[in-house]
Amino acid sequence: MQNIILSAFKSLSYPPTEDQLAVIGWFFNNLWILRIFSLTILLATLYFWYKTIIKLIGKTVALISCLIIFLTPTFYILWLTSPIDCLKIFLLIFLVFILNKNTKHFGKLALILGSVYIILFSFWTTTERSSFVHKLGLKEAKTELKLRFVAEDSLTDPVKVPLKIKRIVYNKYYIEYKELVNEVIPFFDMESLFFQEIHPLEQKSVVIFVWPEIFLLIGGTYSLIKSKNKKISSLVWMTLLLSLINFLFDPFIIFKKFELILFPLSLIMALAVSNIYKTKILFGKIVGFIIILFCLYGTMANFSDLNKRPNFWLDNRPYFYEFVFDSIKKKDINKFEKIYVTSLVGKTNKYCKYYFGTCDENKFVFNSFELKGAKPAKNSIYAGFAGEFIGSDFKNNINSDWLSLIKNEGFINIVTKDLRDTIAYKFGNYVVVGEVK
């Protein structure tokens, strides 16, 4: 039974992420208990979102909005992989709910408190910083300014512009303004929000909304603007601004930067769906229902795709560690003096603890290695990317005969896996685990 479910929902067998490993270490012993916990708090989030909207506009819109969020692949991936993000979203929506329940003009207060909360949360939970945070100082502006002057000075026959005039805009303050505005513009990234399924840049991320939903957004925007319910507009604007703050301060992958936008956009779309049902204009009704059908088909198509090829949609680093440690597990590790596992793509020691319980520090070495021109240590296991065995390449063009070359180095019992997306650029896409006697 379990196998049938796992083959139909291949994504459910996705190995743990670093986020999950961090929390497993703290409170949970089992990945699935953690996932069920994440799902529970996301469902609780939906409950509080539902309660917030119901107070402002009514049951139907609230229900549709929650349903739209529930059906997005992002919602599914969040509870499957990102417990910390689930917690962040839950606390924020709970805050909005409490403020909405207890204060009259909750919008501004929720915006201020929510912003502070998002910023503090992002600083507290990770040491990584977003590019927006990096650009807040003038350091990057100064570097860009220097580059611009160097580029322009290299021209042999330039168009003459007096330096004094140039300096009016070629100064660190204006460049800083330019840099910061350029951090805000990607918030209006229609392709990442609605066209991830066919993204023009083939960007790796999870689908946030399926493409037909953009038409619901357009219809919903019309309904929202025409609505005399100021409270609902206020909720939409407030949550949109909070989404922007999250977008600017979240340092992670694009769908996580956009995770809060699920709420305002689903609300706008819910208004559209509700109006499609109510409208007496025949053409609007027909087109509306066709769009809804397409949205439902898109949702089904995406879940199908996600479960056919989770490695296409999801981060491949957990797959790397699953393969490496499962392969090592199959060997009698007591026979080996050292086990070298690369740390090129993440916190290897945490994964080791997850898969082995305890990892002997005298036996396991977690570091990237370079075996080209060096002899591998005897009586050891090496696990890493092909490039680490035979030499890296600046353009990731690893010698096609890499397996023979590795064997020539004295490796035996080699197992390999081809990982897509080049997660260790310069070192090739093949993961290799091999023994040296």
Kindly list the residues in this chain that would bind another protein in the complex (CB under 8 A).
148, 151-152, 154-161, 165-166, 168-170, 174, 177-178, 181-182, 184-186, 188-191, 194-195, 197-198, 200-201, 211-212, 214, 218, 221-222, 225-226, 280-284, 287, 294, 297-298, 300-301, 304-305, 308-309, 312
Structure tokens at 236: 């939409």
Rounded-to-integer distance, Cα 269 and Cα 194, Å: 13
* Cβ nearer to another protein, comparing 32 with 188: 188
Q: Which is nearer to another protein, 27 or 177 (CB)?
A: 177
Q: Compute the least distance from the CB of residue 190 to another protein, in Å.
A: 4
User: Considering the complex, what minimum distance in angstroms separates the CB of residue 432 from another protein?
Assistant: 24
Using DSSP's 3-state secondary structure scheme, residue 189 falls into: coil
Contact 147, 172 (CB under 8 A): no
- For residues 345-360, one letter each, b for 16 or more C-beta atoms within 10 angstroms of the residue's C-beta and e for the rest, the string is bbebebbbebbeeebe
What torsion, rounded to 10 degrees, do the Cα atoms 351, 356, 357, 359 define? -80
Residue type, 346: G
Report, in Å, the least distance between residue 240 CB and another protein.
Answer: 10
Contact partners, residue 279, CB within 8 Å, separation at least 6: 285, 288
Instruction: Considering the complex, state which of residue 168 and residue 412 has its C-beta at the smaller distance from another protein.
Output: 168
Closest CB 345 distance from another protein, rounded Å: 23
* C-beta closer to another protein: residue 91 or 287: 287
The C-alpha atoms of residue 238 and residue 244 are separated, in whole angstroms, by 10
Q: How far apart are CA 308 and CA 317, in angstroms?
A: 18
310 versus 376: smaller Cβ distance to another protein: 310
Smallest distance from another protein to CB 35, Å: 25
Q: Which is nearer to another protein, 32 or 283 (CB)?
A: 283
Q: How far is the CB of 172 from another protein (least distance, A)?
A: 13
- Classified as helix, coil or strand, 436 is strand
Closest distance of CB 247 from another protein, Å: 12
- Specify the residue, 28 or 170, whose C-beta has the smaller distance to another protein: 170
CA–CA distance, 169 with 172 (Å, rounded to integer): 8
Nearest approach, Cβ of 308 to another protein (angstroms)?
A: 5
d(CA 291, CA 293): 5
Per DSSP, the residues of 56-102 read HT-HHHHHHHHHHHHHSHHHHHHHHH-HHHHHHHHHHHHHHHHHHHH
- Give 301 or 333: the residue with its C-beta nearer to another protein: 301
Q: Is there a contact between 309 and 417 (Cβ–Cβ < 8 Å)?
A: no
| Residue 136 phi, psi (nearest 5) | -65, -30
